[in-house]
């Protein structure tokens, strides 16, 4: 990884740590790393407080992560990011058009990254499912796929009676251990 790419990755990680808005650019190489997230202030504009949802158990969290990643996979495969966008939170949809999402995940599209191999696997959690102080659900972990791992960091807010996407980061750059 070049120094410039490493610096961008560190800046992006710092932005995510404070809930910043940005889409990770797709980095070159045999696999890709990309993400999208909504600014905290955009999710704080609700007129009335939303009901506090229960923390999903690990099985429900695994299903939620899989549905999101398979939806991303379908977007990458077809080049149509409208469904991924439609399943997202209002603030995310305001920030990212389907065309903008496609540009941000262009490396995945170009490299034909296939996330469908996660379908029959259970995630390995790097952190258990948790709701942060702002009420966002964060799911972080990996799927032990080959030849490369699928690492994910996905954020959601409870909106319209369901968990809606506010952040998605996917990294397929790390080779699976043989």
97 in a structural domain? yes
Distance between CA 13 and CA 167 in Å, rounded? 12
Q: What is the pLDDT of residues 115-168, one digit of tens each?
A: 999 999 999 999 889 998 888 999 999 999 999 999 999 999 999 899 999 999
Q: Which domain holds residue 22?
A: 3-171
108 in a structural domain? yes
178 in a structural domain? no
Residue 29 pLDDT greater than 70, yes or no: no
176 in a structural domain? no
Say what the pLDDT of residue 37 is: 62
Distance between CA 117 and CA 144 in Å, rounded? 9
Hey, is 90 helix, strand or coil?
helix
64 in a structural domain? yes
Say what the pLDDT of residue 133 is: 84
Q: What is the pLDDT of residues 44-83, one digit of tens each?
A: 555 565 567 789 999 999 999 999 999 999 999 999 999 9
Distance between CA 39 and CA 85 in Å, rounded? 16
Distance between CA 136 and CA 134 in Å, rounded? 6
Say what the pLDDT of residue 10 is: 30
The tally of domains found in the chain comes to 1
Distance between CA 43 and CA 133 in Å, rounded? 13
148 in a structural domain? yes
87 in a structural domain? yes
Q: What is the CATH number for 53? A: 3.10.450
| Model confidence, pTM | 0.74
Residue 110's CB: how many other CB atoms inside 10 A? 12
User: How wide is the angle at C-alpha 86 spanned by C-alphas 22 and 16, nearest 5°?
Assistant: 20
Say what the pLDDT of residue 3 is: 39
């Amino acid at each position: 990884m070049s120094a410039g790419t490493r610096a961008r990755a560190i800046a992006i990680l710092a932005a995510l740590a404070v809930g910043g808005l940005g889409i990770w650019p797709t980095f070159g190489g045999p696999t890709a790393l990309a993400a999208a997230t909504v600014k905290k202030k955009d999710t704080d504009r609700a007129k009335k407080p939303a009901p506090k949802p229960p923390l999903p158990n690990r099985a429900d969290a695994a299903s939620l992560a899989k549905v999101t990643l398979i939806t991303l996979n379908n977007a990458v495969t077809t080049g149509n990011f409208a469904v991924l966008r439609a399943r997202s939170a209002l603030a995310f949809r305001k920030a990212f058009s389907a065309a903008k999402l496609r540009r941000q995940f262009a490396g995945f599209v170009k490299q034909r990254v296939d996330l469908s191999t996660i379908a029959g696997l259970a995630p390995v959690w790097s952190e258990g499912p948790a709701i942060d102080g702002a009420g966002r659900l964060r799911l972080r972990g990996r799927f032990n796929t080959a030849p490369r791992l699928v690492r994910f960091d996905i954020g959601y807010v409870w909106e319209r009676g369901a968990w809606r996407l506010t952040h998605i980061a996917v990294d397929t750059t790390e080779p699976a251990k043989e």
